[in-house]
Amino acid sequence: LLNGCSAGGLSAILRCDDFSNLFPPTTKVKCMSDAGFFLDAVDVSGGHSLRRMYSGVVNTQGLQNTLPRTCTSHIKPTL
């Protein structure tokens, strides 16, 4: 079981397949985001601070190619 809360929950979901690949194929792996809610809204400065944060996460961890193509074919990986 790979579990995380808040930003750790984001990591648990995004890296679930990588974590699973560390074990033999017969091993059952479950990944769970315990808590976390990231609202994509305009902040008090008029910007999208959470989009910038997620952009940093996606770029730093190189997640562009690990996210589902069914999503990234029509929206940016940071969304």
CA nearest neighbour of 62 among 15, 22, 28: 15
pLDDT of residue 21: 95
Q: What are phi and psi of 66, to 5 degrees?
A: -100, -15
pLDDT of residue 22: 96
pLDDT of residue 25: 93
Over its length of 79 residues, how does the chain's per-residue pLDDT go in tens digits?
A: 999 887 788 888 888 999 999 999 999 999 988 876 667 788 888 988 888 888 888 888 888 888 888 888 998 887 8
* Domains of the chain by residue range: 1-37, 38-78
